[in-house]
Structure 1
Amino acid sequence: MSLARVQHISVSLDGFATGEGQSLEAPFGHAGERLHEWMFATRWGRAMLRRPGGSGGVDDAILRLFPAGIGAEIMGAGKFGYPGWHENPDWKGPWGSNPPFHTPVFVLTHHPRPSIEMKGGTTYHFIDASPAEALETAREAAGGQDVRIGGGPTMVRDFLAAGLIDHLHIVVVPILLGRGVRLWDGLEGLEKDYEVESVSTPSGVTHVTFTRAGL
């Protein structure tokens, strides 16, 4: 069976994966881009912004694993758009006409709408479903490949609490946010079900992976 994978979720030292006060102008609230500066310093990250340059070390090598083996994605409503986006019938996500996913993407929302086909192979499907139901639907669309659980933190936490994540990659960024949405709340003892490894890189971040025992 295909795996359910979380990739490149950045969290602060105090466990926040997004800041407080999210809006159209500030998708990560008061955190701004501080959680992702490490990413956009790499060649891969700068290429996503259509800018030259960037580092080519460990961070870059890990980021280049983003599309490998992924056949579908599930994301929460908070990742797809700003609070209240469902009231805007023209909203198609913050990634432009050619999003970086290139697979079916299932957006979990209490406000379903018709699917949207984008350039590059991405099609957004809007569903109101439990984590288990959404994963079953995404696996059918993934054609035997893995399913990315794309965030935000509330959705990732729900999938972890339901025992549905096979591989989790977290990037611990050396900043303190103090407020926002935390990833780990209610998940005490999670590490007992996984093999945990970590590696720090010259950028100052620490990559932590949780792989379900026995995989």
Structure 2
Amino acid sequence: MSLARVQNFTVSLDGFATGEGQTPEAPFGHAGERLHTWMFATRWGRAMLGRTGGTGGVDDAFARLFTDGIGAEIMGAGKFGPPGWQEDPRWMGPWGPNPPFHTPVFVLTHHRRPPAEMEGGTTFHFIGASPAEALETAREAAGGQDVRIGGGPTMLREFLAAGLVDHMHTVVVPVLLGRGVRLWDGLEGLEKDYEIETVSSSSGVTHMTFTRAGL
């Protein structure tokens, strides 16, 4: 069976995965781009932006795993857009006409709308489903490849609490946000279900991988 994976999910030192005050112009609120500077400094990250150059090493190696073997993504309503996007039928996410997913993407929301086919192979499907139901649907669409659990933090907590995440790569960056949405709240004892490894990078970030015991 395909795995449910989390890739490049970044949190601050105090555990926040997004800041406060999300808007269309600031998808991560007051955090801005501080959580993801490490990624967009890599060769892979700069290539995603249509630029050349960038760093190699540990950060680049982890960043490249974002698309490796992924056949579908599940994301929460908060990742797709700031509060109120459901009332704007023209809103198709903050990524522009060619989102970086290039697979079917299942957006968990109570506000249904028709599927939206974007450039580059991404199609957004808007579904109301439990984590287990959404994962089953995404696995069917993934054609035997893995399913990426894309976040945001509220949705990812639900998948972790339900025991549905097989492998998770999180990145701890050396910033303190102080407010926003935290990832780890309510997940006490999560570490007992996983084999955990950490790798420090010269950029100052720490890569943590959680692999379900027995995989």
TM-score in terms of structure 1 length: 0.98
Q: How far does residue 54 in structure 1 lie from its aligned partner after superposition?
A: 0.8
Q: How far does residue 147 in structure 1 lie from its aligned partner after superposition?
A: 0.3
Cα distance between partner residues in 1 of 2:25 and 2:102: 25
Cα distance between partner residues in 2 of 1:95 and 1:175: 24
Q: How far does residue 47 in structure 1 lie from its aligned partner after superposition?
A: 1.2
Q: Which amino acid aligns with 1:208?
A: M
Q: How far does residue 167 in structure 1 lie from its aligned partner after superposition?
A: 0.3
TM-score in terms of structure 2 length: 0.98
**Given the alignment of the two structures, is residue 13 of structure 1 paired with residue 13 of structure 2, yes or no?**
yes
Q: Which amino acid aligns with 1:133?
A: E
Give the 4+ runs in structure 1 shifted more than 3 A: none
In structure 1, the partner of 2:74 is 74
Q: Which amino acid aligns with 1:187?
A: L
For structure 1, the residue ranges without an aligned partner over 5 or more in a row are: none
Q: How far does residue 66 in structure 1 lie from its aligned partner after superposition?
A: 1.2
Q: 1:31-180 maps to which residues of 2 (within 5 A)? A: 31-180=31-180
Q: How far does residue 95 in structure 1 lie from its aligned partner after superposition?
A: 1.2
8 Å contact kept, 1:15–1:182: yes
In structure 1, the partner of 2:191 is 191
| Seq. identity, % | 83
8 Å contact kept, 2:27–2:94: no
The number of residues matched between the two structures is 215
8 Å contact kept, 2:24–2:94: no
Cα distance between partner residues in 2 of 1:25 and 1:143: 35
8 Å contact kept, 1:24–1:83: no
**Deviation sequence 1:164-189 (CA, Å, 0-9, x none):** 00001100001111110000000000
8 Å contact kept, 2:73–2:106: yes
